[in-house]
Amino acid sequence: MLYRLADIAFVVFHTSLILFNLFGWIWKKTRLANLVVILITFASWFLLGLIVGVPGYCPLTDWHFDILEKLGHTDLPTSYIKYLADRLTGLDFSQKLVDDATLWGLVAAFVISLALNVIGLTRKKGMME
């Protein structure tokens, strides 16, 4: 029962975090936090990934998959987003397609978030002068 609740909590939290990474730049009040969270995500993927030897490493995925294994799930994919897409649709998406879409989605969100944060900062600075 506890593992089932943990699974649900991970699905809600991790999915919310992914959605915030992708769309948190939309609202002015969350733009800076969005940029910070995206940078933390990139740090996890690349810096932690180098340390643990798994490019794209996410500790949330690691912890969630540990729980899923305790619940009897086997043959889990290498990425949470593939797991989630397969779980929600019942389909079996290509790992490469999911990985590419994940990377390019986060890169696009980063570029938009960075641009909007820089624009907001320069406008704010211009108003102060």
For residue 126, give both structure tokens. 């211009």
pLDDT tens for residues 3-29?
999 999 999 999 999 999 999 999 999
Task: Enter the pTM of the model.
Answer: 0.90
Place of tokens 């986060």: 106
The per-residue DSSP string of 58-79 comes to: -HHHHHHHHHHHHTT--S--S-
58 alpha carbon, distance to own chain's centre? 8
pLDDT tens for residues 45-84?
999 999 999 889 999 999 999 999 999 999 999 999 999 9
Query: Pick from 82, 41, 49: which is nearest to 65 by CA?
Result: 82
Distances (CA, A) of 28 to 72, 78, 79: 43, 34, 30
